[in-house]
Amino acid sequence: MAHLCDLFPVTLERLRLKLRKRDIDLLCRKLADYDPVRALEALTLLTRSIKRIPRADVGVAAYNHTIRGLLREPATYPDAYTLYSRMVERGPPPDLLTYKAIIEGFVRDGRMREAEDALAHMLKAGLEPEIFTLNSIADGHFKAGDDIEAVAALARIPHPDTYTVGIGMRGLTRAGRLDDAVRLVENALGNGVEVNEVARNTLLQEFGRAGRGEEAMAILARLGHGPSSARAVAAFMEMEILRGNVDAARALFDDLSHRGAADAVTYNIMIKAYFKHDRAYLATALFDAMDAGRETPLSTSATYAILISNAANSGDLAAAERLLKTAKARGLELTRSHFIPLIAAARADPALAVRYFRNMQFEQIVPDDRAHAAVLAAFTAAGDFTPAQDWIDTSAPARL
């Protein structure tokens, strides 16, 4: 196959009475699958020799196979563009598949002006672009940072689909055009177009970053939608907590919990927030409810890390140790996050700090700078400067 093009002069002469359009189409398709550059060479040779072959012609399918093959690799994009230009100038006229492939290539290459020109040629030829092609152009304009052209491209789409809404939602919100994004959702729902979870989550996240999270929730509720996944709610909960609205975050969590969709991540977010805002009793109650009535506990390694950190920071090392033993007994993965709070809390007892440090090593966890620094802090707090120096010389990394 690699050297088939070298045999064309002889092959064409031998097949001058047999080579038909379908044969040429098949030949170009096979070559394009194997080596698009060879397919281009073959097509060029065929178009030059075709006049000597009765009843033969190079049809649009041969060009399409070659163009699609060339568009598989960025290095051969220019060859695809050249072949497309040859079709426009000398024929055969591009068809729907030609325009679909070449416009997608222009968009991937960031050549949006050429993509728009190809679309104009397509419409002038009386061909109706598929919605995939129109969506691709709108998405390309958004990615190029030209939201004005992107909105114009969206307006050209007569019957938007779910992907149209997703592209518009993502592009408009990232461009800061939140109100336009809301109108897009309203129009889509009004026309019976489904607004999928990704688009709804995007709306929530971007409105949340702009401090308008409650407004987004109200909009989606008015439109008959809400955050349908724990992931979306988790992102929104974290935004509310960062703004100090712990109760608002809890309301979101409760709604998710009532629907049976609360997961370990959302539990952990609320537990951590309650500890941070000195509402430990609520954090403890959530932890107790987390595994209640479940055959498989919902609490995770991260949950125990949060609880151990709070117990250690509160000075209750006995409780922290019990939690650590429970996590280990359950077979949960232990990490530095489970041990470093214990080491840091043993500031008044260097021997205890070293014991926690060695326990971490026993669990095959490689200590980091924080762990070494916590041990050194315990030595220096107790005034044991000689052991501290020995620790630096024998255990701590050189950068400490």
* Segment 45-85, tens digit of pLDDT: 656 555 544 434 567 777 787 787 778 778 778 888 888 88
Q: Is residue 110 part of a domain?
A: no
Express each pLDDT in 249-306 by its tens digit: 898 888 888 878 888 999 999 999 999 999 999 999 999 988 887 767 788 999 999 9
The tokens describing 19, both together, are 């080579």
Would residue 111 count as lying in a domain?
no
- Shared domain for 323 and 291, answered yes or no, is no
Whether residue 243 is found in the same domain as residue 205: no
CA distance 309 to 337: 8
Does any domain span residue 363?
A: yes
Q: What are phi and psi of 277, to 5 degrees?
A: -100, 25
Cβ atoms < 10 Å from Cβ of 342: 25
The model scores a pTM over 0.85: no
Report the pLDDT value the prediction gives residue 163, as an integer from 0 to 100. 86
Using only C-alpha atoms, the chain has a radius of gyration, in whole angstroms, of 33
Amino acid at 371: A
**Residues 114/106, Cβ–Cβ less than 8 Å:** yes
Per the domain annotation, does 210 fall within a domain? yes
Asked whether 66 and 83 are in contact (CB, 8 A), the reply is yes
Residue in 360, 304, 315 with CA at minimum distance from that of residue 336:
360
In terms of domains, do 192 and 242 share one?
A: no
Nearest to 372 by CA among 340, 324, 329, 330: 340
Listed in sequence order, the residues at least 6 apart from 113 whose beta carbon sits closer than 8 Å to its beta carbon are: none
At 214, is the pLDDT very low, low, confident or very high (cuts 50, 70, 90)?
Answer: low
Considering the domain architecture, whether residues 220 and 283 belong to the same structural domain is answered as no
Into how many domains does the chain fold? Answer: 3
Same domain, 331 and 398: yes
Confidence band of 17 (pLDDT split at 50, 70, 90): very low
Whole-number pLDDT of residue 243 = 78
> Which residue among 174, 204, 226 closes a domain?
226
Residue 2: pLDDT above 80?
no
Q: Is residue 392 part of a domain?
A: yes
* Cis bond before residue 92 (omega within 30° of 0): yes
Asked if 286 and 249 count as a contact pair (C-beta separation under 8 A), the reply is: no
User: Where in the sequence is the domain holding 349, given as residue range(s)?
Assistant: 319-400
Any domain includes 347: yes
Report whether pLDDT(147) > 90.
Answer: no
Q: Note whether 338 and 400 are same-domain residues.
A: yes
Q: Exposed, middle or buried by CB within 10 Å (0-12, 13-18, 19+), for 63? A: buried
pLDDT at site 385? 66
Question: Distance from CA of residue 150 to its chain's centroid?
Answer: 21
Domain boundary among 226, 248, 277: 226
pLDDT for position 399: 46
Whether 337 is covered by a domain: the verdict is: yes
Q: In a 3-state reduction of DSSP, which class is residue 160?
A: coil
Pair 181, 238 in one domain: no
The residue among 299, 328, 353 that closes a domain is 299
* 85 found inside a domain: no
